[in-house]
């Protein structure tokens, strides 16, 4: 089954092509800080080839819904570190979805402040969820040009914080009617400055944000989610084919990891001039990897991969109630139904209490790094260890043979082998290819000569005596 084969998307190594889609779960506290339940929630689902977090607010002004997480301050970063460490220890790969809700919010959630948007145009025909119950959408306040530029700065700051929190990359939420999407669509963007009017100007915000994210993360670690034919949240563009063809063409000039493309929803049939097959229309325009989303089951996902239309498929609701979704796809086991009354808000119920199926198979082999090291610059090598040590620890690693890194630095043996154990072979591979360890390798240049071999093994038992 192609869905269960490994692949590489940008610089992200995926052990399978099953991606957990970003899903708002509203389990953060009032300060946008995630807790221990969120750590368990993502770790339970770490067998996915890629986890994309719930949409995460880039600034206080980005918040539109209650109890949603943030990534704009140090306390939030520290809380997310626990999530990334737990996922990495399970051999998983995780990126953070960066979010600004724009007009998809309410002053009830924002301390009395109106939501902001490209233009003062309200969402029609829908209500917004607040702690005080559903509310009609308000007319948002239009951002000034200087505020638009400050918001771009907020995305860059959030990207830096996501790196500090140990993520493997970031995804820009440019879909579902949130702020980047609002800039793209002509019904919600009526600006007359450099961020409105022509398709080129309306695309400027998204492209400027992505340029900043790539500056922070480098090549192959930034993705973007787009929904060209989704009318929800009053996203009605006069010509989505022209708008999104231009945007995707411009994306090809950036060293992105992937394009995350959402299929049309049934309400798109109200617009006969819109493309009715979103994937067939837009996926071929992107020259990099494509992840597709939108109501796929296992067989439909396999078909889209076999057709070469995508490199991976993301699943939302099935991952809520099936933390072991990959295993169920592998074995053909039935999927558990989710309780929609617990999708948003609450505690452990409907969040971390869905059981996985028992597995009558041996646990995956542990992974080992066999390293032969000769230190040529001990002081510079200490800088490497200061970064590499916490990174290895975040993947559940421990040194079990021939002492620790500190003894290598001291040069007690000119060239010394040592063995690092990970909880799984996948964790060892994930660590080696993580952005943090790649940075450590860059520091190692000129400081040491090393050979690293990653091998599968069996549980080691206690550390051997030295």
Q: Annotated active-site positions, please? A: 178
HSE-up of residue 210 (Cα within 13 Å, Cβ side): 30
Tokens of 201: 């100007």
CA-CA distance, 101 to 234, in Å (whole number)?
14
Q: At what angle do helices 425-432 and 74-89 cross, to 10 degrees?
A: 130
Contact 90, 423 (CB under 8 A): yes
Tokens of 272: 């006969």
Residue identified by tokens 């509203």 is: 26
Q: What is the DSSP letter of 418?
A: E
Q: Pick from 108, 106, 83: which is nearest to 94 by CA?
A: 83
Q: Looking up tokens 């890194």, which residue turns up? A: 405
Within 10 A of 53 (CB to CB), how many other CB atoms are there? 28
Task: Give the 3-state secondary structure of residue 224.
Answer: strand
Q: How many CB atoms lie within 10 A of CB 386?
A: 11
Residue 173 is classified by DSSP as E
Q: What are the structure tokens assigned to 343, written together?
A: 């999708």
Angle of the 378-394 helix axis to the 425-432 helix axis, nearest 10: 130
Question: Residue 236's CB: how many other CB atoms inside 10 A?
Answer: 16
335, 318 contact by CB (below 8 A) = yes
76 close to 33: Cβ distance less than 8 angstroms: yes
Alpha carbon distances (Å) from 365 to 33, 39, 59, 361, 411: 35, 24, 42, 12, 32
Which three-class secondary structure state does DSSP give residue 400?
strand
Look at the block and give the residue holding tokens 């080992």.
368
């Amino acid at each position: 089954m192609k869905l269960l084969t490994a692949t590489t998307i940008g610089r992200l190594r995926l052990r399978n092509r099953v991606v957990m889609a970003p899903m708002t779960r509203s389990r953060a506290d009032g300060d946008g800080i995630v807790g221990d339940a969120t750590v368990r929630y993502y770790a339970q689902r770490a067998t996915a080839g890629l986890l994309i977090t719930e949409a995460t607010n880039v600034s206080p002004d980005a918040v539109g819904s209650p109890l949603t997480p943030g990534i704009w301050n140090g306390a939030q970063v520290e809380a997310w570190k626990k999530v990334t460490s737990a996922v990495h220890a399970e051999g998983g790969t995780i990126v953070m979805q960066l979010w600004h809700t724009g007009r998809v919010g309410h002053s009830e959630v924002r301390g009395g402040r109106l939501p902001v948007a490209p233009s003062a145009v309200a969402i029609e025909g829908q209500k917004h969820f607040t702690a005080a119950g559903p509310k009609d959408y308000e007319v948002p306040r239009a951002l000034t040009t200087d505020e638009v530029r400050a918001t771009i700065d907020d995305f860059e700051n959030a990207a830096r914080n996501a790196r500090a929190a140990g993520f493997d990359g970031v995804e820009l939420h440019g879909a579902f009617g949130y702020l980047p999407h609002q800039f793209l669509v002509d019904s919600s963007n009526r600006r007359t400055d450099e961020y409105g009017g022509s398709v080129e100007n309306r695309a400027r915000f998204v492209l400027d944000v992505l340029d900043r994210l790539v500056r922070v993360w480098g090549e192959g670690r930034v993705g973007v989610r787009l929904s060209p034919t989704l009318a929800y949240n009053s996203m009605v563009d006069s010509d989505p084919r022209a708008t999104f063809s231009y945007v995707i063409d411009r994306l090809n000039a950036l060293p992105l990891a992937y394009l995350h493309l959402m299929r049309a929803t049934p309400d798109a049939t109200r617009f006969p001039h819109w493309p009715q097959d979103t994937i067939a229309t837009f996926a071929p325009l992107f020259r990099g990897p494509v992840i597709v989303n939108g109501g796929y089951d296992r067989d439909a996902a396999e078909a889209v991969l076999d057709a070469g239309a995508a490199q991976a498929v993301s699943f939302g609701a099935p991952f809520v109630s099936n933390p072991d979704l990959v295993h169920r796809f592998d074995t053909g086991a039935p999927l558990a139904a989710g309780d929609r009354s617990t999708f948003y808000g609450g505690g452990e119920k409907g969040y971390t209490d869905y059981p996985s199926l028992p597995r009558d198979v041996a646990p995956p082999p542990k992974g080992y790094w066999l390293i032969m090291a000769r230190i040529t610059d001990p002081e510079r090598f200490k800088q490497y260890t200061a970064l590499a040590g916490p990174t290895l620890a975040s993947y559940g690693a421990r040194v079990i043979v021939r002492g620790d890194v500190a003894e290598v630095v001291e040069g007690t043996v000119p060239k010394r082998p040592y063995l690092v154990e990970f909880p799984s072979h996948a964790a060892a591979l994930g660590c080696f290819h993580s952005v943090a360890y790649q940075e450590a390798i860059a520091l190692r240049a000129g400081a040491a000569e090393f050979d690293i071999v990653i091998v599968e093994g069996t549980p080691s038992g206690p550390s051997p005596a030295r």
